[in-house]
Structure formats: C-alpha cells, structure tokens
Structure 1
Amino acid sequence: MKILSFFKPAPHRPVTGTPEEQARDYRQSRRQAIFVMVTVYGLYYVCRLSLNVMKKPLVDSGYLTTEQLGFIGSALFFAYAVGKCVNGFLADRCDIRKFMSVGLFVSALANFALGFRMPAVLFAVLWGINGYAQSMGAPASVVGLARWFSNRERGTYYGIWCTSHNLGEALTFILTSLIVTSFGWQWGFVGASLFGLVGVVLAWTLYHDSPQSRGLPPISEWSGETVPTEKAKSPTSVGAGQKAVLMNWAVWMIALSSAFIYVARYAINSWGIYFLEMKKGYSNIEASSIISVNAIFGLFGTLFSGVISDKLFSGRRNAPALIFGLMNTVALCLFLLVPGAHKWVDVVAMVLFGTSIGVLFCFLGGLMAVDVAPKNAAGAALGVVGIASYLGAGIQDIVSGYLIKSQGAVEGGKEVYEFAHTVFRFNGCEYAVDHIALFWIGASLLSVLCALTVWNVKPKE
C-alpha cells in the first residue's frame, strides 16, 4: 500500500495568480516538461541499448554466445512489452514525475550490476528487470504530453519528444562504444549506469505531474479547447476511455504494424553493428559509426514528423506513414542486399533507414493510436501498441540470434560466420539473398500493409 501511495498523483492546488502569471508559469513548466521528456527519455535509451555495442567483445571473450545474446536480448523486449502495457494503464493514474524517476533509477542499477561477470541466466534476469524498468519511461512521457500540451499541438510536440530515442542511440553508439573500445565491456555498463543516474536527477527536479499540481488550470481550459460535456462530468472517464481503447480495432492494427516495424528497427539496433563486423568486415568503431548515422538522421525524421503531418497533410498520418514505410524497405534492401563493404552505400542506407524509422517510430509507435483514442486514455493506447511492438522486437532478437548462430562455422579454432542464403534465379542470373535479410525486409513490408488497413480511420477530436 505504501508503494501505491507513493505513486499517487500529485494533489491539485487551487488556481492562483493573474492570467499573466499563469501564462508565465505555464510556459516555464512546459519548457521543463519537454526538456525532461526528450533528455531523460534519451538517457533511458542509453541504459536500454548498452548491450548492443558490446556483443562482439562479449562473444570474443568467451563470456556469452550469440545464441545466448539472442535470448538475453529477448528477455528485455518481452519484459518491456508486458511492462509497457501494464505501465501504460498505470501511468494514467500516477504521479508521472515519480514514475519516470523510479523507472530510470532501477534501470541504472541493473546496468551497473551487469558490469560484473555472472551466469548467463542471471544476466538474462537482470536484463529483463532492466526491460520492465525501461517500460516506465514512455508512458510517463506520453501522459505528460496529454496533460501539458493541447490537441492541436500534439503532432508537433510528439515529434519533438520522439527525438529522445535518437539522442539515446547516438550517445550509445558513439560514447558508450568509445568507452567499451577504450576500457572494456564492463565499463560500458558502468558508463550507461552513470548516464541513467544523471537522468534521474533531472526528472525528479524538473518534471511536474500536471498543471493542476502547480496551481494552474488544466490544459484544455488554458488553451481554449472545448471539453465534451460527457467527459467533463463522468467520474469514471479514465476507465471508460481505457475500455474504448481495448475495443478499438484500429488501435490493434496500428499495434500490429508497429510490431513489424519494430522487428526492422531493432534488427538494425541490436544486430546492425554485429552484421557489419561479421558480414562486411568493418571494425567495431567503423560499424558503430555507420549505425550511428541511423540515429542522427532519425533525429530529423522524428523532429519533423509531426510538423510534416500537421502542416502538409492536415493532421493525417496515413500518407506519410506509407511514404516512409516504403523508404524503410528500400533502405533495408540497400543495407542487406548490396554485396561487399561499400561504406558510402551503407551510410546512404542508414540515412534512409534512420529518417524513415524516425517518422514511423513516431506515427506507428504511438501517435496514430493516441489520435484514435480518447485523450484521457493516452497511456492505455500507448500500452497496447507497446506490448505488440516489443513482442515483435523480442521475437526478432531470438530469430535473428538463431539465424546468425546457425550459420556459424569454426575454422582454425576461430568462429567465422557465413550467412546462409537462398538462391533466386531470374533471366538466367542467380541472386543469393541471406535468410536474415528476407526476415528483416519482409517485416518492413508487412508493416506497410498493416498500416494501410487504417487509411480511412479518422482521429478523435
């Protein structure tokens, strides 16, 4: 009961001050809110992706195998999937400042513990605990967006918030990779833990639960939005809204589309560096630098995704989702099907992949579901999408790890990887395609097809 009491929403304070003072306080609190959402959730990602830049050192040291890494990676994704659904529903009813701070604190502790050698099973358990703790960050952010920003600002600020994952990926693929290369994989986990603790301090000191907890009017009143009478009067509106989310077929189709794009997204994030090292012969620093291009350009994709849909498509997300979905498939084809190490081709592929994932992460990963859900159930909509997305990511890690492991061979006492392939014949020519490429590219195409099923669904006003 003490835990439940700790997470209770911050009490509402009486509205005080002149309209000018309220406007000043609102502007400051909103700036702090979006700063925390972007920066702190970016640091969440540093603690989530830390393992991805350490896979080759862990395998080379004989500590873990690729098959073990596949199951360990899936432990995070499955725990995250369950947690994101549960915590999505809980965040609608919690103090989001405490919710975000506690999640990152636990994640930082898990990363610190993983800097010590331990059995693979215990490693997987701790990585799973990290996954559940990670699932507290996104709901706390999305609920904050609903509480601090109006409907007409949703796309723009959601896009700004989505840049957090690019910030986290860039920090991971550049700084964490540098730490691992310089000091070893153990210090990579320690470094990620320290980044996480910085985020805890920022969230605890700068984030606020709601405008009412600051003695300000609710965002609908301050922004001049019209609140439907039935929602304003219903004491069970949160529960009713969450039930409506569960009964909405469009939310589930968006969730399925997101699950497939998360296969592609985390295939590159989890195995892209390893693929470049083993398949194309790049060094760890070279491979990490190429994959970091994906994070950097993803930043632009997420930053402008809301603006693109709000300004160019009048708030509709379906057309840009189709355009960038096809771009994602083309990017994977360049990355996986062009033989040999051609750095400029791989960089171009990551530019296209990062840009498209940035937009699709924003749209399919939450915004399209939030659009068609009641506003007071934003966390629940994100939870439904989250559990599907990370189940997809978890299955991806197991399948990818198995495909890579099953294609390994030992030559001269050293493990060498020749990626198994299927040969296609067309016009007298033979084309060899890796099985893992078929898996990743196929997921990207299926995501596009699922997204098309909700083309005519209109957002909630």
Structure 2
Amino acid sequence: MKKHNFQKWGVFTAATIGYGLYYVCRLSLNVVKKPMVDDGYLTETQLGIIGSALFFSYAVGKFINGFLADRINVRYFMAGSLLVAVGVNFLLGFAIPFWALVILWGLNGWFQSAGGPCSVIALNNWFSSKQRGTVYGFWSASHNIGEAATYILAAVVVGALGWQYGFWSAACMGAFGVVFIFVFLKPSPPEKESVSSVQTEAPKAEKSSVKKLQIEVIKNPIIWLLALASGVMYICRYAVNSWGIYYFAAEKSYTLVEAGSLISVSAICGTVGTIFSGWISDRFFNAKRLPLAWMASLTNLIAIALFMFAPHSTVIDIVSMVLFGVSIGVLISFMGGLIAMDLAPKGAVGAAVGIIGLGNYIGAGMQEILSGYLIESNKTIVDGQTVYDFSHIRIFWVAAALISLSLISVIWKKTSQQKQANN
C-alpha cells in the first residue's frame, strides 16, 4: 500500500510539474512578441499567423491525440511529445525565415496537444471518482505554474539578454520536464491494486469497447455545446495570455518586465481558481460544476472589461488580473476537464477532452490571427512614434466573454432539464 501511494502521488507530481513545463515551451513566444516587432524581425500580423499555427495544430492534435491516448502508453507519449517541443524552442532562438517559424510553431502545437489528455488519463487511472475533483483542481494549477514561470523568468531573461534567450531558456526548463515525466509518470496502477484501491466503482460502461464509448461521446450534443462555450472562453484566455504583455506595454507604457509581472499575477491567482474550484464543487455543491462555472464566467466578463476600459492605474490593472486569473482558472478546470469527465463514460475520457480541446484551440487560433491583424491595422506613426488604437480589440475581447457566459447559461439549463427528465 505504501508503494502504491508513493507511485500514485508520484504520478500526480509528474503530471502537474510536467504539464506546467509544457506551458513554458508553449508560451515563450508571447513574451518575445514586442521585442521581435521592435527589432523589425516580425510584424504583428506575422506573429498572429505564427501563433495561430500552434493553436490550429493543437486543436486537431488534441482531438486526435485524445483518442490515441486512450489506447497507448501515456508515459512515453507525454515525455516524447515534450521532447519535440523542447527541440522546437531551441531552433526558434535562431534567425530563420517566417514560414519556417510557422511550420515549427505548428509542429510544437501538435505535440503540445498530447500533454493534457495524457495527464488526465493517468490521473483518472490512479484516483477514484471521490478524489477526482480535488486532484484535478490541483493538477489544473500546472498551467498557472508554467505561465507564471514564463511571464516572470522569461521576461527577465529576454530583458537582459534578448528575445532569442526567451526560447532557449524555455527549452532548458522543458528538458527537465522530459526527464521528470519519464521517471515518475506510471500510466496506471498494477492490475491487482487498481480494482481494490482505485476502482471503487465498476461501471458497466467499462465492459464496452473503447470505440463504442468514443462514438457515444461524439453523439452527445452537450459535449459539443460545451466545446463551443469553452472555445469562446479561450478567445478571452489567450487574448490576455498572448497579447496582454503587448497591450500593457503599448497602451499603458509599462516596461516588458512590468507587463510580464502583471500578466503573471493572473497566472498566480489562477492557481486559486483551479485548486479550490474542484474541491468546493465536490464539498459544497455535490460535484455540481455548472453553477460555479457560470459565476466564474461572469467574473471573467468583469475582469476583461476592467483590463480593457479602465484608465491607466497599477491598482486597477492588478485587480483586473486577479479577477481574470481566478475566473479563468475555474473555467479551465471545469470546462476543459471536470464537466467533460462527468459527462463522458470512463473509457472515453480522452475522447471527451479531445473534443473540448478542438473547440478551445480553434477559438484560440482565430483569436490569434484576428488580434494580430486588428493591432497592426489600427496603428499609425505620428512624429516617428507608433500610436495604437485598441478600440476594435476591446469590442472583440469583451464580446467573447459575454458570448461564453450566455452559452454556459444554456448548458446549465439543458443539463438541469436532462437530470429532471431522468429522475
């Protein structure tokens, strides 16, 4: 039993730290955007295209890799995929042609997409349903860890040494994650322990074929509606994550390190949302996720409005990032995982996560292209100085937050109606 517990918590630690370092290798571009533009290396539109390549390949990759992860060894899959991401970040530190950057960053997105499904499946195999909400909440903080590390450490490195070192420092941190995952991430408990220690429930669905269960997930309209709502929410998430540093520096005249520190506030506070959301819903709401998801979505709308429309004020900007981080942390934990896990049969969790991921990163990719275009097309040169007009961006990002809130309301209503009908 002691060995089992050691292995179980080793899996949790490997999934959490490992996936956090996935994010370091994914977000490195966000820190170096302004320096790249200032150096004349790339334009905002080009950066939007490069960023969208990751999101679109991630969307398709997460859909396919979610199904694939249900069938193969997630330890090798997760470690190997991060190794490719490390290699891509190393290469991007060199001056290479624009379309080569697009291809490499798209390749990064494809292999990045394996991290989430592999982590969820490993946790699902090792922890019972009674533990799942709390454990998943803590694991979801992994992206906050990765974001905070990127926005603080990479910003300092880039400010001191140049944008190339933003990619190289990410590659070094990711390499550590590869080793850590390979050593500690065991795909599932030994068969003799898994029945008594983990599988306290023995659903009939597990006796069905994986293919049949995955088809059942595909036919579930609420899964697809959840993917749409989550995808629109990801427009907000990556609007701030991808362009927040740029916006703070260009519109509110913060330095790169100051802007990175402000965005890191959202990542750090997001840990609160991700960790405690699952525990609160398990403990006080009888594992009902949608009421808290609705409240978090409303908070996200308020945070985006403050971020975009409030006048320059460090206090207000910090408050907006606190609210944004907590709300997005809850929404990622619920919409990107727990709600899908609750709706899907256990043998097809990877498929459900894959479908949600498809919606998430199509939304993020569309955001990246449109945001880059709107920023570049609405800037002018006045007396040798670049002047930005972010009015269109403000409407775009706030509208996305409002639409996501509306869709969550619809999902909440439909699931409540289904439960009443079943009772």
- 1:248 is aligned to 2:224: no
The residue aligned with 1:225 is 200
The residue type equivalent to 1:436 in the other structure is I
The residue type equivalent to 1:346 in the other structure is D
- 1:210 is aligned to 2:188: yes
The residue type equivalent to 1:225 in the other structure is T
The residue aligned with 1:385 is 356
The residue aligned with 1:317 is 289
Post-superposition Cα deviations, 1:48-103, rounded to whole Å, max 9, x if no partner, equal 00000101100000100001001110000001000000000000001010011011
C-alpha distance 232-438 of structure 1, shift in aligned 2 (>3 A): closer
Task: Quote the offset at 1:216 in angstroms.
Answer: 4.0
The residue type equivalent to 2:358 in the other structure is I
Task: Quote the offset at 1:231 in angstroms.
Answer: 3.3
Post-superposition Cα deviations, 1:25-70, rounded to whole Å, max 9, x if no partner, equal 2211111011011101000000000000101100000100001001
The residue aligned with 1:453 is 410
Task: Quote the offset at 1:281 in angstroms.
Answer: 1.0
Aligned length: 417
- 1:400 is aligned to 2:371: yes
- Measure the CA separation in 2 of the matches of 1:368 and 1:233: 23
- Measure the CA separation in 2 of the matches of 1:106 and 1:414: 40
The residue type equivalent to 1:367 in the other structure is L
Structure number with higher helix proportion: 2
- Measure the CA separation in 2 of the matches of 1:54 and 1:335: 21
Task: Quote the offset at 1:233 in angstroms.
Answer: 3.8
- 1:56 is aligned to 2:34: yes
2:393 is matched with which residue: 436, 456, 460? 436
1:266 is matched with which residue: 238, 242, 249? 238
Task: Quote the offset at 1:370 in angstroms.
Answer: 1.2
- Measure the CA separation in 2 of the matches of 1:232 and 1:411: 65
- Measure the CA separation in 2 of the matches of 1:364 and 1:119: 37
Task: Quote the offset at 1:416 in angstroms.
Answer: 2.8
The residue aligned with 1:175 is 153
Structure 2, unaligned runs of 5 or more: none
- 1:165 is aligned to 2:137: no
Post-superposition Cα deviations, 1:390-419, rounded to whole Å, max 9, x if no partner, equal 000000001111110111112344433233
- Measure the CA separation in 2 of the matches of 1:128 and 1:413: 35
Task: Quote the offset at 1:308 in angstroms.
Answer: 1.2
- 1:409 is aligned to 2:380: yes
SS at match of 1:170: helix
The residue aligned with 2:174 is 196
Structure 1 stretches (4+) deviating beyond 6 angstroms? Answer: none
SS at match of 1:409: strand
Asked whether the 8 Å contact 1:26–1:216 carries over to 2, the reply is: no
Measured on the aligned residues, the alpha-carbon RMSD in Å equals: 1.4
Structure 1, unaligned runs of 5 or more: 1-22, 420-433
The residue type equivalent to 2:407 in the other structure is C
C-alpha distance 436-232 of structure 1, shift in aligned 2 (>3 A): closer
Post-superposition Cα deviations, 1:181-226, rounded to whole Å, max 9, x if no partner, equal 11111111010001110000000111111113xx5432x5324623
Post-superposition Cα deviations, 1:304-346, rounded to whole Å, max 9, x if no partner, equal 010111111110011101111100000111111112x200000
Asked whether the 8 Å contact 1:55–1:69 carries over to 2, the reply is: yes
Using the size of structure 1 for normalisation, the TM-score is: 0.88
- 1:84 is aligned to 2:41: no
The residue aligned with 1:360 is 331
The residue aligned with 2:83 is 105
Task: Quote the offset at 1:232 in angstroms.
Answer: 4.8
Asked whether the 8 Å contact 1:92–1:377 carries over to 2, the reply is: yes
Post-superposition Cα deviations, 1:149-194, rounded to whole Å, max 9, x if no partner, equal 1111111111011000000000000011111011111111010001
- 1:125 is aligned to 2:103: yes
SS at match of 1:454: helix
The residue type equivalent to 2:288 in the other structure is R
SS at match of 2:381: strand
Asked whether the 8 Å contact 2:205–2:213 carries over to 1, the reply is: no
The residue aligned with 2:341 is 370
Asked whether the 8 Å contact 2:289–2:339 carries over to 1, the reply is: yes
The residue aligned with 1:31 is 9
Asked whether the 8 Å contact 2:78–2:181 carries over to 1, the reply is: yes
